[in-house]
Structure 1
Amino acid sequence: MAAELAIRTEYLTKQFDRHIAVNGVELTVAAGEVYGLIGPNGAGKTTLMRMLATAEEPTLGEIYINGERLLRDRSNANLKRLLGYLPDDFPLYDDLTVWDYLDYFARLYKLNGDRRQRRLYDVLELVQLSTKRNSKIATLSRGMKQRLSLARTIIHEPILLLLDEPVSGLDPIARMQFRQIIKTLQEAGMTILISSHVLSDLAELCTSVGIMELGFLVESCRLQDLYQRLSRQQILISTLGDAEILKRELKTNSLVADIEILAGTNQVRVGFSGTEEDAAELLRSLIHAQLPITNFQCTQEDLETIFLKLGHQQAS
């Protein structure tokens, strides 16, 4: 039985005058996934998210959230309660305290009495701002403000979270803190759609990815499948001897390609098309040839390299 879908779109299209921002997108996101949207500025990621969040009406196509269709020209009040949307430019109110800010949004979602107070304490603990609840928002760091924005987004306990560039402009420590919170939310069963230019963050967080170009969803699959299909394995080999001798020996292996001696070092980087067992056999053969190998490290091309490679394929 197929996994329940948190999001499904059918030929989803948005046109502004003569510009088609989103073009016939067929997107499926399974419940419980962290799905990453990748693409350059102008690819249509934000417009797609705004349509999913009911902030923008499609020109054509349909959107289904948890199997229920979003209706045009309707409030979709029940469906909106399932959604938490964090745009990249949502305003904060600097004169309010952290607690008053969250309390304001909790009241908008009609959380009442003890339930509202418990929920405020819970989300403040989750986003690591409990000690800041009486602080003015103006005094918070950028990372704290972004975590507060996330707290506001989940205050009503949505089951689907839409995050548009949530780590943009954050320093590495703030990004790490944000990633930890996202992982906690996923472990609690939330489905998360997240766009980011920081591809290393998506690689750590996401179970699936979609790549957008000029309004089209040009790729959508599980992250592991993308790595297996497009990420070439590389091996970094160090020797105490002459790198040229190592290079000549490597050329005798049919699974080795693109041999590169790293300038000024005794290190060689090669493309490798074999399995882990093949890599182990390669290392054995080098040792058998009495080459003084000091390092043999297998790696894969990262998500950024795959993204650039796909971009070149689309352009050609």
Structure 2
Amino acid sequence: MTKDLAIQTRGLTKRFERHFAVNDLDLQIAMGEVYGLIGPNGAGKTTLLRMLATVEEPTMGEIYINGEALSRDHTNPKIKQRLGYLPDDFPLYDDLTVWDYLDYFARLYYLREPRRTQRLYEVLEIVQLTHKRNSLISTLSRGMKQRLSLGRTIIHEPLLLFLDEPVSGLDPIARMQFREIIKALHEAGMTIVISSHVLSDLEDFCTCIGIMELGYLVESASIGELYKRLSIPYIFISTLGKLDTLIVELKNHPAVQSWEILPGNLQVKVHFSGTEKDAAILLRSLIKAQIPLSEFHRVQENLESIFLKLGHKQAS
């Protein structure tokens, strides 16, 4: 197996009676990536994460972590000690303080003094809960509880982190705080695999994306490659008049693939295959034609649009 890969699977399959939750999945994740798993409920994301975290035994197939074969038995103890897994339903102990909760898990991982206390302070700072270290867990907000769960997951300094729907049910501020923590862990060199339905969150910090459908991995690529291959660039143009002249100019530009006049105002949505330089040339031609522009901006389809497009292709 390739040693510069943090994770590699071959033919990974999990079957529950007649149902295949994960089917013949080949996956490669390089060290230091933030790999986002997206897909509808029942796609197999949670089952895949549970197998990678050694919580679930595969029916068939192989898993390699840092080039070493992984199994649920007592082999590879050093590798398993460097895995962190945060499921979407991990219970908290409301009658403990934040400090005691983290200290409990630090002891489970055999962290000894003085390193244990040092690590507790480090983790509290990472998950932004230093000011709550003596508070009962029952008094924390949902966002704080989720950050505390993440703190428990990283207390033993894992190299690989598996997060299952970590921002589900959080408000926008709590999601933003969680995103910032993930970015910091990534900058510190951690490899992270995260599943989510909140596609805008993944788009913000993931380096690679895997799209699952009915147990299959239908796409796996870097964010940049996905955009280059599947995202359609558009230019939105608004004008105060001379719409016919605008359409003539669009027809004459080689990078204009098609256009759509949007209802209700003098705005045109242009499917544009050119570069930023080509867009600048188009803008210059419109100004030269004395078209009274009030808006001209270039956008690309986001991750959600790509996902919906791929889902439609699979369904058809």
Taking structure 1 as the reference length, the TM-score comes to: 0.96
User: Would the alpha carbon gap of residues 111 and 73 (structure 1) be closer, same or farther in structure 2, given more than 3 Å must change?
Assistant: closer
Task: Give the distance between the partners of 1:181 and 1:73, measured in 2 at CA.
Answer: 32
Secondary structure of the 1:168 match is coil
- The residue that corresponds to 1:116 in the other structure is 116
Task: Give the distance between the partners of 2:215 and 2:123, measured in 1 at CA.
Answer: 35
- The residue that corresponds to 2:299 in the other structure is 299
Runs of 5+ consecutive residues of structure 2 not aligned to the other structure = none
Letter in 2 for 1:150: L
1:75 deviates by: 5.7
Task: Give the distance between the partners of 1:73 and 1:124, measured in 2 at CA.
Answer: 32
Whether contact under 8 Å (1:243, 1:261) holds in the other structure is no
- The residue that corresponds to 2:282 in the other structure is 282
Deviations 1:272-316 (A, max 9, x none): 111222111111111121111222101100000001111122223
Instruction: Describe how 1:85-164 pairs up with structure 2 within 5 A.
Output: 85-164=85-164
Whether contact under 8 Å (1:3, 1:30) holds in the other structure is no
Whether contact under 8 Å (1:83, 1:160) holds in the other structure is yes
Cα-Cα RMSD = 1.4
- The residue that corresponds to 1:225 in the other structure is 225
Whether contact under 8 Å (1:242, 1:266) holds in the other structure is no
1:245 deviates by: 4.2
1:80 deviates by: 1.5
Task: Extract structure 1 runs of 4+ deviating beyond 3 A.
Answer: 72-76, 242-245
Deviations 1:165-222 (A, max 9, x none): 0000111111110010001001100000011101111111111111100000011111
Task: Give the distance between the partners of 1:43 and 1:165, measured in 2 at CA.
Answer: 13
1:145 deviates by: 0.4
Secondary structure of the 1:113 match is coil
Secondary structure of the 1:103 match is helix
Q: What percent of counterpart residues are identical?
A: 70
1:244 deviates by: 4.8
Instruction: Describe how 1:147-226 pairs up with structure 2 within 5 A.
Output: 147-226=147-226
Letter in 2 for 1:232: I
Task: Give the distance between the partners of 2:127 and 2:301, measured in 1 at CA.
Answer: 32
Deviations 1:207-239 (A, max 9, x none): 111110000001111110000001010101121
Secondary structure of the 1:55 match is coil
Deviations 1:107-163 (A, max 9, x none): 000001111001000100111100100111011001000000000000000000000
Secondary structure of the 1:90 match is coil
Taking structure 2 as the reference length, the TM-score comes to: 0.96
Task: Give the distance between the partners of 1:149 and 1:8, measured in 2 at CA.
Answer: 27
